[in-house]
Structure 1
Amino acid sequence: MTTLRTRLVAEERKAQIVKEAELLIRTNGFQGFSISALAEACGLTRAGVLHHVGSKDQLLIDVLEAKERETGEETSALIQAIGHPTAREVLDLLMRRNMERPEIMLLFTVLAAESLNPQHPAHDYFAERLQRGARRLAPLLGGDSQNAENAAIEILSYMDGLQLNWLRDGEIDLWARWSAFADRYFGSVG
């Protein structure tokens, strides 16, 4: 039986590959992910996939960057709709968005754990991810930049840990726990 292949321009094909890779990685983790399975899902050969992405390691970074870019665009749009939001409003928006898309939360959680190994291709990406987030959040927290970045790291670390536990135990009321923490935190600093 011959598989019908659809011709796509290079940019569309790469987007398709990245999207299919995200689904497979989310399901199997990066360690259980194969280019062969991805090629089959995309209706391509293994060589065809690698032509568009270079390597399995580069593909992982492409997936993470695409999701981070998508999240950044959505967050920017939400922030723009509010006007001049407070840190709490931005964080509430992020938490609500994450709750609506647990599959993305799961993708990042699985990959963050796998990438603890310094040999993992996303090790550097995740080592820098918290710092990038803290630099973006710090201006909304006020105060001197070092204290604001430290506070941002604490808040983002709490969010990551809470989300991890929610993924493990769906009985946890993620919004209630986040709200209680944010009420305590922002009540004490604001």
Structure 2
Amino acid sequence: MTARDQGPPDDGRPAPRPGGGGRQAQRAERREAILEAAMELISERGYRRTSLAAVAERAGLTQQGLLHHFPTKELLLVAVLEARDRWDLAWAVAASGAGSTDTLAQLVDYNATRPGIVQTYTVLSADSVTEDHPARSFFESRFRSVRASMAEALRAEYGDALPGGLTPERAAPLLVAVLDGLQLQWLLDPDDVDMPGAFRDFLALLEDGERRSGRPAREPDEG
């Protein structure tokens, strides 16, 4: 099974392009093949046991050829996470047209099927807090973007004030912390931590807080 086969239905990943198109198109295709190979191997072997040599072999390249595109393993892994974010975003937009907590719950379901990718994200995000880490700028930018997206999703569902009077902007970092904290606990103890169930429990707390505030809870999505 390839990395493409593991995503949600219609996951938004670009369809393979026909050959040709010149050197730049060939370079883009090789880069995409490397990312696909890395995603597959991380899913099969985990973060630590995925080597550049193995990725190069899976992608049909020499290791030197791979290093032409990604000089270090850290840069390759950051590119894998960037690709994952693009594919997940494309799928989320296709699924709901906009960010929502329901879509987030579906992505949590999907992440529970790819522990290697979640492990890569968790390890790199923790390592990136050190000075001059190659992934630091990626995670700084990513967290800013994710907080903004979370605030937008929360505002769309709960308005300008959540239970307790929090604004969506103040609640967004808490939502990110729940998601990332659940991932860490799940990676350490997957038999005891039901990550998708726990995230839905958290959403239920928001819904309960909404009812207690005297405002009607949102209508469940149809379909």
TM-score, normalised on structure 1? 0.76
Structure-1 residue corresponding to 2:71: 55
RMSD between aligned alpha carbons? 2.9
Instruction: Give me the whole-angstrom Cα distance separating, in 2, the residues matched to 1:123 and 1:55.
Output: 17
Identity value in percent: 31
Aligned residues: 177
Are the equivalent residues in 2 in contact too, given 1:138–1:148 (CA < 8 A)?
A: yes
User: Offset at 1:42?
Assistant: 3.1
**Structure 2 unaligned runs (5+)?**
1-18, 21-25, 211-216, 218-223
Alignment CA distance shift 1:60-1:107 (3 Å): closer
Instruction: Give me the whole-angstrom Cα distance separating, in 1, the residues matched to 2:55 and 2:34.
Output: 7
Structure-2 residue corresponding to 1:13: 30
User: Offset at 1:95?
Assistant: 2.0
Alignment CA distance shift 1:49-1:159 (3 Å): same
* 1:104 and 2:120 are equivalent in the alignment: no
Secondary structure at the residue paired with 1:39?
A: helix
Alignment CA distance shift 1:176-1:17 (3 Å): closer
Structure-2 residue corresponding to 1:113: 126
Secondary structure at the residue paired with 2:186?
A: helix
**Structure 1 unaligned runs (5+)?**
1-6
User: Offset at 1:24?
Assistant: 4.9
The AA in structure 2 aligned to 1:43 is G
Alignment CA distance shift 1:186-1:155 (3 Å): farther
User: Offset at 1:91?
Assistant: 2.6
Instruction: Give me the whole-angstrom Cα distance separating, in 1, the residues matched to 2:50 and 2:200.
Output: 36
Deviations 1:19-40 (A, max 9, x none): 223445564647x765444333
* 1:124 and 2:137 are equivalent in the alignment: yes
Instruction: Give me the whole-angstrom Cα distance separating, in 2, the residues matched to 1:127 and 1:159.
Output: 17
Are the equivalent residues in 1 in contact too, given 2:46–2:117 (CA < 8 A)?
A: no
TM-score, normalised on structure 2? 0.66
- Once structures 1 and 2 are overlaid, which stretch shifts more, 159-168 or 146-155? 146-155
Map 1:1-190; keep pairs closer than 5 Å.
9-24=26-41, 27=45, 29=47, 34-51=51-68, 53-56=69-72, 57-80=74-97, 87-142=100-155, 143=160, 147-170=167-190, 171-189=192-210
